[in-house]
Amino acid sequence: MSFVEYGDTIKDGDTAIVFLGHESMFPVKVQHGTVTQTKYGVIRHSTDLIGKKYGSKVTCSKGGWVFILHPTPELWTMNLPHRTQILYSTDISIITMMLELKPGSIVCESGTGSGSLSHALIRTVAPTGHLYTVEFHQQRAEKAREEFREHGVEHLVTVTNQDVCKNGFGVSNIADAVFLDIPSPWEAIGHAKSALKAEGGRICSFSPCIEQVQRTCLAMEEYGFTEINTLEILLRVYNVRTISLQIPDLGKEVEDNSSTGFDSSNPSHQGSPCANLQQGTVQFKSGVPLREVVGHTGYLTFATKS
C-alpha cells in the first residue's frame, strides 16, 4: 500500500480508512489478530479486512456495515492525528498550483507538523521528485518519518530535525519551490533563496496574522524576490434544503370575474387556471449557505526568485 501507488487488495500492515459516512470516518492500521470497534460493531482484521478489495462493504458484528477505502492525501487530511494545526485541501490545492509543482519537482518544506501538506506534495512530485521537509520539534520529526515509512513514501521524502531559521534546509540551489509554515518566516527567507534553483524558483509562506505577512514581504523584497502576491482562500459551503413558500393570494374569483367580464357559467371557462387557484404552499429545492462559516484561515504569500 502507498499513498502514491494504488493497491487493489488490503494487506497486513496497510493504513486503511474506515468509512461510516461523509461526516464519520477514521484511519486504522491493518494487523493480523487485531479488532476495531465501531458503532456498528466489531471489525476483525484477519477475516474482515485482509485479502479483501479496497472499497469493499464490510459487515460488522452488530449487523451494520462500513466501507474500507484506500488512503489518499485528501482522506488523510480529514483523518490524520493532529500534532499541530494543519492545512486543508482548499489551501493545499492553490499552493500546489501556484508553486507550479509537477512530477519530478524538488520541494523544500518547513515545518512538517502533522504531515497534511507533506502527503499532498509527495503525491504531486512522485515518482521522480523529492520533498525535503524540516521540523524543529524532534518528536514530531520522528513521528513524521514513521508515518512516511508506513505509508510507503519514505523514498520520496527526507525529514530533517533542525531549526530552519538558523540552519536552513540542508540543500542548495536545487529546489523548484519552497514552502514555509513557521512563526517567523522572514527569518528563513535567506535560507529559502539559497535552497532554490538559480532562477525562477517559487516560494510560498503561510501565516495567520497580517503583521507576519508584512514582515515576510519586506524580507522577500530585500532578498530580491519578485511577483510578491498575498491572497486568502475562503470556502463557502451550500446545503440543499427543501423550502416552503406560501402561494400569494391574488384575490377572489368573483372579484376577478366582475372586473374582467369573466363568466364562470360559460363552459369554455371551466378549465381556466383562475378557477383552480387555491391558496396554499409550494415546495422546491434551494441552495442555502451555512449559518456559520470560517471567517479567516490564513494568508498565502507567493513570490518568485529573480
**Positions at the binding site for S-adenosyl-L-methionine:** 114-117, 135, 163, 181
- The set of cell numbers assigned to 136 is 524543529
Q: How many CA atoms lie within 13 A of 208 on its CB side?
A: 8
Q: What is the number of helices (H) and of strands (E) in the chain?
A: 9, 15
- Under a CB-based contact definition with an 8 Å cutoff, are residues 144 and 214 in contact? no
- Under a CB-based contact definition with an 8 Å cutoff, are residues 68 and 49 in contact? yes
Binding residues: 114-117, 135, 163, 181
3-state secondary structure of 225: strand
- Under a CB-based contact definition with an 8 Å cutoff, are residues 189 and 218 in contact? no
- Under a CB-based contact definition with an 8 Å cutoff, are residues 212 and 185 in contact? yes
173 burial via Cβ count (<10 Å: 0-12, 13-18, 19+): exposed
- The set of cell numbers assigned to 18 is 474506515
d(CA 57, CA 260): 65
3-state secondary structure of 97: helix
- The set of cell numbers assigned to 153 is 513514501
